[in-house]
Every structure is written in C-alpha cells, then in structure tokens.
Amino acid sequence: SQTIHQWPATLVQPVGSPLSLECTVEGTSNPNLYWYRQAAGRGLQLLFYSVGIGQISSEVPQNLSASRPQDRQFILSSKKLLLSDSGFYLCAWSVSPGDQPQHFGDGTRLSIL
Amino acid sequence: SQQGEEDPQALSIQEGENATMNCSYKTSINNLQWYRQNSGRGLVHLILIRSNEREKHSGRLRVTLDTSKKSSSLLITASRAADTASYFCATVYNFNKFYFGSGTKLNVKP
C-alpha cells in the first residue's frame, strides 16, 4: 500500500534562517506531488506541484522554492525565512493525471520567531 | 481565483441531524472532491465527483454537482460526534491542479 511521510512534525525557526522540509512517498511510481500551506483556521494554499523529476510548477510568488530530486521525494526550501512563512505545511500525492484523490501527509507546523 | 468557496463557514448541529455544506466555484472543472480535516492533521479524501456526474453516494455521504450553477453540496446524514471536523471542497483543473476552499467547520454536539 502507498504511504506518505512528512517531517519534521513541528519546527521552530528564527527569522532569516534557512528551511528544508522533506516529503517522501512509498508504494507508487511517478506520483504527482504537491506542497500546500494552511494558515490557522483557513483553507489550503497550493504552493508547488510536480508531475515528474525536476518538473516544478509554482503557484504563488514567494520566499519558498521546491525541488524533486527523486521520483518520490519532494523538498520545500527557503534560504531566509520570513515571519509570514509561519503556517501548517502539507505535502500530498496523487496518481497522474489528477482524476484521482489526493493523499496527504500529517503536516509540519512551522513557527517563525 | 480558481478556489472553491464553502458555505457556511461554521455549522453546529446535534447528533443525529443532517449536515449540509455547499461549495461554489468560478471556472470549468475536471472534477470536484471533498475532504475532511481533523484539527492539526492532514486532509482525508471523502468523495470525488466528475464533471459529467450529478450525484454520488458513499455511506452516509451524498454529494451533488451542478455545473450550470458551478456549485456542489455535501450532505452528511445522521451525523455523529465523530464527524466533528473541517470539510473542504477541492476543484481540479487541467487534471493536475487542486484548489481548496477555506472550509466549513462542523461541530456535532452529542
């Protein structure tokens, strides 16, 4: 069966520090991969999605970047965090094409001090 | 914006009652999906309805889709306290892009 791992679960970082969040999927090949951010009490904002290795689409101009170095690995990064980067970050995968459900990780709660 | 918008933002009902949530969107979609989120957790897929479908059922869930009105509704029948969660609709475009609304927070009182 397929599983998705996302870590760390919580993270507290100072303003201006770098960020690296990792997401890996097991049990499937060539998944579509997604990064979302959720502000407290709000909906999900699509940040990046990828349909294959090295193929990244950015939805919102921001302080973040994403990479897909391997088929089932998706990384969210920042060189210098801003206070506004605080939030709940969720990784998800789906079968390509997207006529199927998305499957979510348990998320990373990021607090910027 | 291509995001769906849920209505109401919050809903409080007694156990055993039905809960209805609505989702509206603005442009043509491939499909529409409903998800549930328990506090502080990832989202869990509930049901998917394709653009050429009008109604789907799954257990106590019933989803309708009206593409002419660009709207969908999720009905949870005979609600239980365990149904307390936030519910989100996701509209899917180009078969790869998912856009989530801001959700309906459902509270089912025992």
The string of pLDDT tens digits covering residues B32-47 is 999 999 988 999 999 9
- Residues of chain B contacting residue A98, judged by C-beta atoms under 8 Å apart: 30-31, 92, 94-98
| pLDDT beyond 70 at B2 | no
For residues A64 and A21, what is the distance between their CA atoms, to the nearest angstrom? 11
Cβ atoms of A47 and A59 within 8 Å: the answer is yes
How confident is chain A (113 residues) per 10-residue block, as mean pLDDT?
90 96 94 92 89 89 90 96 94 83 94 95
pLDDT tens column, A77-102: 999 999 999 999 999 999 876 678 89
Per-residue model confidence as pLDDT tens digits over B72-87 = 999 999 999 999 999 9
- Residues of chain B in Cβ contact (below 8 Å) with chain A: 3, 30-31, 33, 35, 40-45, 48, 50, 88, 90, 92, 94-103
